Structure 1
Amino acid sequence: MALMITDECINCDVCEPECPNGAISQGEEYYVIDPGLCTECVGHYDTPQCVDVCPVECILTNPEHEESKETLQQKFLTLTGQA
């Protein structure tokens, strides 16, 4: 699954620079994650870096974008030009 940021986000700015795919950006009210770019850091790291640094634990899996680890790996390969 891709990740999502809930409305509990405090706009602390720590997640955005941690995303290796550039999937996180400032939304109208709080940060948002582009599910087309989010690989949950598969291919880059063992754990999602944004989740690791979030001080309010507002980054959850997005139930509207269910993806297997294999799908996330393929997305990583496509995004990095390795597919």
Structure 2
Amino acid sequence: MAIIITDECINCDACISECPNNAIYEPGEEWSYSDETALSGNVSLPSDGSEVDADAQNDPISDEFYFIVPEKCTECKGFHDEPQCASVCPVDCCVPDEAHQESEEELLTKKAWLHGE
């Protein structure tokens, strides 16, 4: 499953540099699948096969606190033993996202998709 940042976030910026997938964004920031990944142009999402423009700017998920794009979050599988955002968060607001449950295999597939492996 992906990680989500709760509304308890104090916008400290500790998590953003820890994410190997560039899945964490500042409040109000637009995001794209191609940000710091190998993706470009039209791509198929590994979760459901739907097509998206990896370079398109998407609306922010939150205007109030940092947010994680679930389609880019791999819980750091293939990089680290635990989600790095959760390990550095001073207020423990990086928690499992019950709405986006994925197996380790699915997370590793997503990692390969994001990084062209």
For 1:7 and 1:70, locate their aligned partners in 2 and report how far apart those are by CA, in whole Å. 29
Structure 2 matches for 1:1-83, cutoff 5 A? 1-27=1-27, 28-82=63-117
2:90, 2:22 → 1: CA distance? 20
Deviations 1:2-57 (A, max 9, x none): 00000000000000011010000012100000001000000111111101100000
Gaps of 5+ in 2: 28-62
RMSD, aligned α-carbons: 0.6
More helix by share: 1
> What is the aligned-residue identity percentage?
54
| Bigger radius of gyration | 2
Runs of 4+ deviating beyond 6 Å: none
TM-score (norm 1): 0.96
* TM-score, normalised with respect to structure 2: 0.69
